[in-house]
Amino acid sequence: MRITSTAAAAALGGALVLGLTVVPAAQAAPAAPSDGTACTTDAFGIAGKYGEFVLGDDVHSPDAEGAVAVGGNADFRGGFSVANELTAAEVDALPGKASLVVRGDLLNDGSATVVMKGNAVVGGEVKNRAVEMHNGTFTKKADLIDFEGEFAKLRSYSSALAAEPVTAGATAELDGFRLNLKGTDTTRNVFSVPAEQLEKAKEVFIKVPAGATTVVNVSGQDYDMASAGTTGFFLSGGQDFVLDDKLQSASEGKIRAKLLWNFPDAEKITKNSQAAWPGSVLAPQAHLELGTAAPVNGSVWVASLHGSGGAETHHFPFTGCLPEPGENPSPGTTPSEDTETTPPATKTPSASATPPAEGGTPSQSPSESAAPGTPAPSDSAAPGPEGDLASTGSSGTVPLVVGGAVVLAAGAALVVIARRRKQA
């Protein structure tokens, strides 16, 4: 069959267009760390499916937007609603599709405990008002989740993450009352910050490429955000810094979704601040005091918890890519002989040691603690180091350009052959 020069050029042009259209899809897969190690987006297993995953007692009001699992007793006397922001797929992924799990007793003293989506599973007694189910079922069952087993994994993994070396080029600098964390790796940035340094920061600025996983390893047994009176966490994916809150975040939330605060040795963490805390908090041996002011914009995995008022947990699940559990986070790096890979089990705090929750009735929709339109700091108001623009995937265009040149050259050759045959 004779192919005209026009048809050949059209076919080659179509092939080139097809090549251009498939490049973005090929780049959509999560990138592995630059050192070549494997990573997973499911490092926390069952715990990672819950916005609050607590080994001991959970004393909280008025709501948690994600799923809640409590290994001890739940004190929801101030009224509590659960799981309003979960998707159907997220509910299906939960053990028993249970968005509320309480292994011990659930105390509400007549205030409403409302499960907006999914099922509820309680092992002990419900005192004194029945759980209100919107589209799920209530079941009495105490062994749906092995909390001791899951927290043994979390403690071991937290220690392993803490042993991971600081990423090349990642810096943590305290400039007066401003803590600057800057990383340039497009896949994962690991920082190491002593708790006493973090406590001196009135403002925390984090700049990493959009889409990169960020791990902030915080050493020390206690961290109190009130020490410096922290007023804000500002995030940047390479552009301007944005004050994180529920209704606004840098790079459309990509930074906080992959931001992890790891407290491997902490026994108490106090979030005593008006500032929303972006990212997820892994502190498997610590009591988390959320206070009464502002939320955590992420998940919390802690030994016990207390919070009320605006101190909610907002549903922004952790989506970062971390080392596979059971493997050294960085090849060639092993913990010292003094490092415990599995710390001893944390004692479950008694309910009497936890401050009582305030009275009230929860709304059946998540409370909007963040004020819409909160202005982001300008470059002049919040000067920082020059930013690196987020990776746009331009590296993948180099082989495409070379391949395109080869295709065009082949097309030119076909045209010449066709003309010679016509002349003959």
pLDDT at 51 over 80: yes
Q: What is the pTM of this model?
A: 0.72
In the predicted model, is pLDDT for residue 188 greater than 90? Answer: yes
- Look at residue 94 and give its three-state secondary structure: coil
Whether the predicted pLDDT of 270 surpasses 80: yes
Mean pLDDT lowest among 34-48, 125-139, 299-313? 34-48
- Residue 416's CB is within 10 A of a number of other CB atoms, namely 11
Rounded Cα–Cα distance for residues 235 and 258 (Å): 12
- The separation between CA 28 and the C-alpha centre of its own chain, rounded to angstroms, equals 19
Q: Quote the strand ranges of 334-424, DSSP E.
A: none
Residue pair 84/63 in contact by the 8 Å Cβ criterion? yes
DSSP β-bridge partners for residue 7: none
For Cα atoms 403, 406, 408, give the angle at the middle one, nearest 5 degrees: 110
Q: Cα-Cα-Cα-Cα dihedral of 159, 161, 163, 169, to 10°?
A: -160
At residue 23, the pLDDT reads 30
User: What is the pLDDT at residue 24?
Assistant: 31
Indicate whether 389 pLDDT > 90: no
255: alpha, beta or left? (left if phi > 0; alpha if psi -120 to 50): alpha
User: How high is the pLDDT of residue 88?
Assistant: 98
- Mean pLDDT of all residues in 371-393: 36
Quick one: pLDDT band at residue 273, thresholds 50, 70, 90?
confident
Is 90 exceeded by the pLDDT of residue 101? Answer: yes
Instruction: Quick: pLDDT tens for 57-76.
Output: 999 999 999 999 999 999 99
**Least confident window among 5-19, 35-49, 90-104:** 5-19
- Model pLDDT, residue 250: 95
Tell me: the pLDDT tens digits for 337-364? Answer: 333 333 333 334 433 334 433 333 333 3
Query: Tokens 């499960």 — which residue?
Result: 115
pLDDT classification of 38: cutoffs 50, 70, 90: confident
> Mean pLDDT throughout 27-54?
76
Give the mean pLDDT of 36-61. Answer: 93
The per-residue pLDDT of the chain, averaged, comes to 78
Residue 212, pLDDT score:
97
Tell me the sheet residues that pair with 392. Answer: none
Average of pLDDT values for 122-150?
97
Q: Given this model, what pLDDT does residue 267 score?
A: 98
Q: What is the four-CA torsion angle of 210, 216, 222, 228, rounded to 10 degrees?
A: -50
Domain ranges of the chain: 5-27+398-423, 39-75+146-349
From start to end of 89-133, where are the E strands? 98-102, 106-107, 113-115, 119-122, 126-127, 132-133
- Give 216-231 pLDDT, tens digit per residue: 999 999 999 998 899 9
- Model confidence at 98: pLDDT above 90: yes
pLDDT value of residue 32: 52
| Per-residue pLDDT, 401 | 34
